[in-house]
Amino acid sequence: MKEYWGSLASVLGVLAFCQSLLQVLFPPELRFAALKLFNRIFNVFNSYCYFDITEIDGVNTNELYNAVQLYLSSSVSISGSRLSLTRALNSSAITFGLTNNDTLFDTFNGVNVLWEHIVTQRQAQTFSWRPMPDEKRGFTLRIKKKDKSLILDSYLDYIMEKANDIRRKNEDRLLYTNSRGGSLDSRGHPWESVPFKHPSTFETLAMDPAKKGEIMEDLKDFANGQSFYQKTGRAWKRGYLLYGPPGTGKSSMIAAMANYLGYDIYDLELTEVHNNSELRKLLMKTSSKSIIVIEDIDCSINLSNRKKEMRSGSGVSTGDEGGNSITLSGLLNFTDGLWSCCGSERIFVFTTNHIDKLDPALLRSGRMDMHVFMSYCSFPALRILLKNYLGNEDSDLDEGVLKELEEVIDKAEMTPADISELLIKNRRNKDRAVIELLEALKNKAEMKLKSGESAAAAAGR
Ligand SMILES: Nc1ncnc2c1ncn2[C@@H]1O[C@H](COP(=O)(O)OP(=O)(O)OP(=O)(O)O)[C@@H](O)[C@H]1O
Ligand SMILES: [Mg+2]
């Protein structure tokens, strides 16, 4: 610190000397030209260059300014004793940033840069279409001239990307719906959004742990797979088909996926979409890092459509452009055809209770990348539910009861939704909850057995 003050004092001394020299050597009319000359000479010897990123660029907000602010807020090297704190609307996280005229060093690809946050009072307001803030804020980036190209080529892109990540992490996720039909809002947007706060996570999801792990890995590979998709020339999207009886956790799985990846959800209500071009507009207005969901796909699309199309020779890839109904081909064009590339990093999830009713075009390999069967509650899934609802670990349960549960659970064919209901009802009395559950499972298994026997007898008659 001492050295710093010492060198500052000597620089100030030199400046004062130069100023008096200027006054002595040059008559007033030549002083300005001399100053310009000095400035040029100084620039030749100065090894740094500076970039100003102002908060308001003309009359528009400068996106780069906000991005730098967010990026620097995540910097671990912030050591200032005074930081500014902000919490955006709809956000559950607090970000901190540089206060006025504070500086911060950053390193990128081994190159050191210095950021300074400069705040000055705005001059008397000139005429403008919108009121300007009283303060003029901006960042100044100081870098070595020799590093200029490296930094400008990738550092600023890197900052923008990082800032988007932070924004996504800080903001609560949104759930979009197209329940307004084809009408647009005042900003021309066809989707309505609400904050998405579904508490379902992979941890709370009751299903076979191996299958769960496989799906989580698949999702992570997808989210981190930008370069893979680019290298292989594939559109950066992935399709999941979740099928199984009602109450087995298909919708809960979608919420868990969104929470796991930090993606928004677009819940596409196909019955509200009138034709293929409307569908195209809707899908084009979805953002990247999102999950586009079509629930009960078997009920949403008239399955005879495609057969008619095939007969009329229009084929799968063309779709019904101007017609007044939405077709399976119109939908597949988006999940699979050329239009699927109009955005990146999108996950499509279709759900159905009746996979047998689906058109083979939806099921053929490569169309939906992963088919996930959400089954009746299995023993490993039951353990998760017992833990979630009663806080029970295996060691809390009597071994005999555990064994009985294991024997009866598959025969009973009860859904996780049914079991959850039973456990919620008795959650204050853990022992009773387990005993009632066992009873319910046994009753259900017996009923299944009887109905199976009578069906077999009827078939044999
Ligand atoms: N696998 C599961 N793990 C944890 N909870 C579950 C699971 N399946 C169902 N539930 C519970 O049951 C409720 C209903 O489940 P969910 O809506 O996910 O079923 P679904 O398969 O989407 O049913 P549907 O086919 O009727 O849409 C959930 O709110 C959740 O509490
Ligand atoms: Mg559902």
Centre of ligand 1 from the C-alpha of residue 252, in Å: 5
Atom number, ligand 1, closest to the C-alpha of residue 204: 4
* 351 or 151, which is more confident: 351
Q: What are 234's two structure tokens?
A: 């594939």
CA pair distance 117, 100, nearest whole angstrom: 6
SS3 176: strand
Give the least confident one: 75-79, 158-162, 398-402: 75-79
Q: Note whether 116 and 101 are within 8 A (CB).
A: yes
CA pair distance 316, 312, nearest whole angstrom: 11
Average confidence (pLDDT) over 215-222: 96
Q: Which domain holds residue 25?
A: 15-46
Which ligand number lies closest to the CA of residue 200? 1
Atom 26, ligand 1: residue with shortest CA distance: 246
Centre of ligand 1 from the C-alpha of residue 295, in Å: 13
| Domain contains 218 | yes
Centre of ligand 2 from the C-alpha of residue 376, in Å: 14
At 310, the pLDDT band (50, 70, 90 cuts) reads: very low
Q: Are residues 329 and 234 in the same domain?
A: yes
CA pair distance 268, 278, nearest whole angstrom: 12
Q: Are residues 127 and 271 in the same domain?
A: no
In total, how many domains does the chain have?
4
| Domain contains 41 | yes
Average confidence (pLDDT) over 60-67: 83
Instruction: Compute the half-sphere exposure of residue 181: CA atoms within 13 Å on the CB side of its CA.
Output: 2
Centre of ligand 1 from the C-alpha of residue 251, in Å: 6
Mutate to test the pocket of ligand 1, among 207, 252, 427 (most ligand atoms within 8 A of CB): 252
Average confidence (pLDDT) over 450-460: 78
Asked whether residue 441 carries a pLDDT value surpassing 70, the answer given is yes
Q: What is the pLDDT of residue 459?
A: 73
Which ligand number lies closest to the CA of residue 201? 1
* 53 or 235, which is more confident: 53
CA pair distance 61, 182, nearest whole angstrom: 31
Centre of ligand 2 from the C-alpha of residue 69, in Å: 41
- Asked which of 357, 373, 389 is the last residue of a domain, the reply is 373
Those residues whose C-beta lies under 8 Å from the C-beta of residue 285, and which sit 6 or more positions away, are 189, 190, 191
* Integer Rg of the chain from CA: 32
The secondary structure element, H or E, covering residue 416 is helix 416-425
Q: What is the pLDDT of residue 12?
A: 60
Q: Are residues 356 and 293 in the same domain?
A: yes
Q: Are residues 213 and 241 in the same domain?
A: yes
At 448, the pLDDT band (50, 70, 90 cuts) reads: confident
Give the least confident one: 10-24, 185-199, 408-422: 10-24
At 133, the pLDDT band (50, 70, 90 cuts) reads: low
Average pLDDT, the chain: 81
CA pair distance 29, 27, nearest whole angstrom: 6
| Domain contains 25 | yes
| Domain contains 139 | yes
* 13 or 144, which is more confident: 144
Q: Are residues 288 and 203 in the same domain?
A: yes
Residue 287 sits at the vertex; the CA angle it makes with 286 and 289, to the nearest 5 degrees, is 125
Which ligand number lies closest to the CA of residue 299? 1
Q: What is the pLDDT of residue 59?
A: 65
* 258 or 99, which is more confident: 258
Residues 340-353: pLDDT tens digits?
A: 666 678 999 999 99
| Domain contains 9 | no
Ligand 1, residues at Cβ distance < 6 Å: 204-207, 246-252, 353, 374, 416-417, 420
Q: What is the pLDDT of residue 102?
A: 80
Q: What is the pLDDT of residue 220?
A: 95
Give CA separation, 17 vs 26, 28, 32, in Å: 14, 17, 17
| Domain contains 412 | yes
Q: Are residues 326 and 182 in the same domain?
A: yes
Instruction: Compute the half-sphere exposure of residue 371: CA atoms within 13 Å on the CB side of its CA.
Output: 14
- Asked which of 170, 185, 206 is the last residue of a domain, the reply is 170
Q: Are residues 62 and 202 in the same domain?
A: no
Q: What is the pLDDT of residue 143?
A: 92
Atom number, ligand 1, closest to the C-alpha of residue 377: 1
Q: Which of 54-68, 132-146, 205-219 is most confident?
A: 205-219
Q: Are residues 351 and 385 in the same domain?
A: no
Q: Which of 21-30, 70-79, 125-134, 293-302 is most confident?
A: 293-302
Nearest to 339 by CA among 133, 348, 294: 348
Q: Are residues 64 and 84 in the same domain?
A: yes
Atom 17, ligand 1: residue with shortest CA distance: 251
Q: What is the pLDDT of residue 392?
A: 73
Give CA separation, 416 vs 68, 383, 430, in Å: 47, 11, 18
Which ligand number lies closest to the CA of residue 248? 1
Mutate to test the pocket of ligand 1, among 204, 248, 427 (most ligand atoms within 8 A of CB): 248
| Domain contains 6 | no
At 371, the pLDDT band (50, 70, 90 cuts) reads: very high
Residues 98-129: pLDDT tens digits?
A: 777 788 888 898 899 999 888 887 666 555 55
At 318, the pLDDT band (50, 70, 90 cuts) reads: very low
Q: What is the pLDDT of residue 288?
A: 85
Centre of ligand 1 from the C-alpha of residue 200, in Å: 10
**Residue 302 backbone phi and psi in degrees, to 5:** -70, 105
Residues 228-238: pLDDT tens digits?
A: 988 888 888 89
State CA 289 to chain mean position distance.
4
Centre of ligand 1 from the C-alpha of residue 422, in Å: 14
CATH number at residue 338: 3.40.50.300
Atom number, ligand 1, closest to the C-alpha of residue 295: 27
Helix segments in 224-293, DSSP class H:
226-232, 250-261, 276-284
Q: Note whether 181 and 240 are within 8 A (CB).
A: no
CA pair distance 367, 150, nearest whole angstrom: 41
Those residues whose C-beta lies under 8 Å from the C-beta of residue 51, and which sit 6 or more positions away, are 140, 141, 143
In one-letter notation, the amino acid at residue 228 is: F
Q: What is the pLDDT of residue 13?
A: 66
Average confidence (pLDDT) over 238-259: 96
Q: How many helices (H) and strands (E) does the chain have?
A: 18, 15
| Domain contains 2 | no
CA pair distance 206, 351, nearest whole angstrom: 17
* 332 or 35, which is more confident: 332
Q: Are residues 213 and 87 in the same domain?
A: no
Centre of ligand 1 from the C-alpha of residue 362, in Å: 24
Which ligand number lies closest to the CA of residue 245? 1
Give the least confident one: 174-183, 322-331, 368-377, 415-424: 322-331
Q: Note whether 248 and 376 are within 8 A (CB).
A: yes
Q: Are residues 299 and 326 in the same domain?
A: yes
Atom number, ligand 1, closest to the C-alpha of residue 245: 25
Mutate to test the pocket of ligand 1, among 420, 422, 423, 424 (most ligand atoms within 8 A of CB): 420
Q: Are residues 232 and 161 in the same domain?
A: no
Atom 16, ligand 1: residue with shortest CA distance: 249
Q: Which of 9-13, 147-151, 333-337 is most confident?
A: 147-151
